[in-house]
Structure 1
């Protein structure tokens, strides 16, 4: 069972793109958050702003970084990736990716970009 409160907090704090970066780098692991982000790899891996936000909220503590497979899968699909590519990125089989999309309410169309983004040319 994942910690829904932590996931929600991280999503509000880092936004979808920041949470995806965090999950890509550290998903499924316990991550030590230093009091000062300059002391670790967080700035290099996540960027200065995200590292500072994590340090302010969780400095000198560990967090269990969620895998965020659904969020990542939707992001990759919107970017135009095939299910085979998504499977490799998530460490799943293509069948598991298909099941993941079947469980999701709002599956982005392949290559649709960020569904929150307005279209420049219609």
Structure 2
């Protein structure tokens, strides 16, 4: 299963590594996250660890970042990298089992594909 990451997800992966980035996408995806200028003693350091918080502070210190919502990528990580069953990966990614089945079978067309008129009809 392949899933192209959105730009913000790529940034997180580059800064804190794939495993922690996936956890951050799962927990904070679709929301904003304040990154303090100094990581030590911050809420962020308590949540993601001091080393990761320091890396984030160097990149975004003092800013509020938008963490992309990328459920398909989070699901794919748990399924492919961690070897979880379809149901366990879906539960951990916060999606319905049926959604996971549709993604894996290719039955889930994007909304833009469904709305695009057929030029050859």
Match of 2:44 in 1: 42
Aligned match of 1:87 in 84, 90, 104? Answer: 90
Distance in 2 between residues matched to 1:74 and 1:12, nearest whole Å = 18
CA contact (8 A) 2:71 2:95 kept: no
CA contact (8 A) 1:37 1:52 kept: yes
Spell out, residue by residue over 1:50-84, the C-alpha distance to the aligned partner (whole angstroms, 9 max, x if none): 11111111111111112332332222223232222
Distance change in 2, residues 1:68/1:35 (3 Å)? same
Match of 1:25 in 2: 27
Match of 2:58 in 1: 56
Structure of larger gyration radius: 2
Distance change in 2, residues 1:91/1:25 (3 Å)? closer
Q: Which structure ranks higher in relative contact order (CA pairs < 8 Å, sequence separation ≥ 6)?
A: 2
CA contact (8 A) 1:87 1:97 kept: yes
- What stretches of structure 1 move > 3 A for 4+ residues in a row? none
Q: Tell me how large the CA RMSD over aligned residues is.
A: 2.2
